[in-house]
Amino acid sequence: MKKILKVRWITTLLLVVGVVVFFSFKSGDSRSFQIAKNLDIFNSIVKELDMFYVDTLDPNKTIREGIDAMLYSLDPYTEFYPEEDRSELEQMLKASYGGIGSIIRYEPKLKRTVIVEPYENMPAAEVGLKAGDILLEIDGKDLTGNTDVSKILRGQVGTSFQLKVERPGEAKPLDFTIVRKNIQLPFIPYYSKLDNNIGYINLSTFSGNPSKEFKKAFLDLKKQGITSLVIDLRNNGGGLLEEAVEIANYFLPRGKTIVTTKGKIKQASNTYKTLREPLDTDIPIAVLVNSGTASASEILAGALQDYDRAVIVGNRTFGKGLVQVPRTLPYGGTMKVTTSKYYIPSGRCVQAIDYKHRNPDGSVGRIPDSLTTVFHTAVGREVRDGGGVTPDVAVEQEKLPNILFYLVNDNLIFNYATQYCLKHPTIASPENFEVTDADYAEFKEMVKKADFKYDQQSEKILKNLKEMAEFEGYMKDASEEFKALEQKLSHNLDRDLDYFAKDIKNMIAQDIIKRYYFQRGGIIQQLKDDDDLNEAVKVLGNSEEYKKMLSVPETTVIKEKGKETSLVNFNSYRKSSLMIFDYVV
């Protein structure tokens, strides 16, 4: 009997210990338990589906969609790259890949891929491929209906292939032998000395190693005698964080904090400072930005603004203040994961969207200005966080007409440029080229013959308003007014082509010029009538106004315990452990 009681006591004790261990595991390490539990559930779901679902599953596709949905619920920048897509990630990091060096586009109407823009000094341009060429075959394989020809065109550097194309104006297809090269996207597609000794540098990316080319361009412009500088960061989506720091160092003294990263773990926090002697700390600088200026571009623009080193001109930047690093995964995969936020010298973070706090429907919105915080530049100018970098000089952006969108979307401007090039072996320099009235008349005739249709927004809104008026019973009294308004807003292609001729001509000119002078020529054409650049030139041309913009506002003081004190250098508040991150994307 004693033996049985002893066994029962031991059994009860073991059960109690087991329950205590179980609940202490759940309470003490609940996150680990929840992760393990849900991974087990997910694993079971996949196995059950694979065994019992009515149709055969593609495990790669099914699980990949689950992974992508999970990561996108965090933010758009945390992404998974399986082994077969690693080249895509490497291209993003290095701004280079093995290929032919051309922009291509699949045309649904043709069921073919078309050459859109060959890059200068790259294989496509060197062998003679032109914008408008239709890709027929690669190594004898028909490309009809193939929507992803880019995967075939890219490959190992040094390998070759046979390409057959159809060229407008040519009776027979053309054959080309192309050797793939390492395609390095242009870091600085254009720089030049403008009027009044103003230098201009267009910096297109921070991926790869653009700081070296930027330095060469700047020193070359200095030799040409520039006395001020415009840095164009518009539509620059970012790249390597270190490259932004390096370029900032050209204009800021050694030892200045440019950016600080802060993450959940210690290794995700770091402070980046200027390490070398600058090239020029005095030359007046204007930086052009817009809504496409993001990430590393915002670090450079924001740092120069926070140190009152440059006047920022244009529109508010994109607002990406998140840092990503690559993490190696099994089976050759890589995950680009957001590990920290970055903060520019004043202490502000430019991140515009708070992905942690989503709306009930899963959507996210920009942080409202009312919830942003005021920070101060080195001399005390007010700047704010939470919405990109706000320019010192805001330039109202001219809205492009609705008809232009449809002309581009229907390839009418592209096709006209192709036909124009067949008739004109050469054209004037980009600085002197213009679309004449005769050229434009020819374009209008082509548009009319194409039976061009486009959606007028005013007609759409009027139709919706009319339907609502009928629903609410106002139509009877307002019918005459609606008829009069419909007549005034009636579709008139001739009128719209004439009314918006300036914008349409400019787009035609850009497309034509790029056929002869590549990306460099397109930028020259864009700068002919560029509101942002004109404003920057105006600012740099008035030294007194420039200094005033970068000086402490007369009304800005700091009060401490009832008395006014001098402005404090914000860098004295910035401390962080050291850890090198690879890039910001």
Q: Please identify every residue annotated as catalytic.
A: 295, 306, 320
**Rounded to the nearest 5 degrees, what angle is found at the Cα of 97, between the Cα atoms of 93 and 101?**
125
DSSP codes, 175-191: EEEEE-EEEE--S-SEE
Q: Which sign does the torsion angle of CA 86, 92, 96, 101 carry?
A: positive
Tokens (6 digits) for 23:
């609940």
Rounded to whole angstroms, the Cα distance separating 237 from 143 reads 32
Strand partners, 201: 191, 231
Task: Return phi, psi of residue 502, to 5°.
Answer: -60, -50
Rounded-to-10 torsion of CA 28, 30, 33, 39: -160
How many Å apart are CA 289 and CA 536, to the nearest integer? 11
Region label for 79, one of left (φ > 0), alpha (ψ between -120 and 50) or beta (otherwise): beta
Rounded to whole angstroms, how far apart are CA atoms 1 and 555? Answer: 93
Q: Is residue 349 a contact partner of residue 323, using CB atoms and an 8 Å limit?
A: no
**Between helices 241-249 and 210-223, what is the axis angle to 10°?**
20
255, with CB counted inside 10 A (0-12, 13-18, 19+), is exposed
Looking only at the bridges linking them, the beta strands covering 79-81 and 181-184 are unpaired
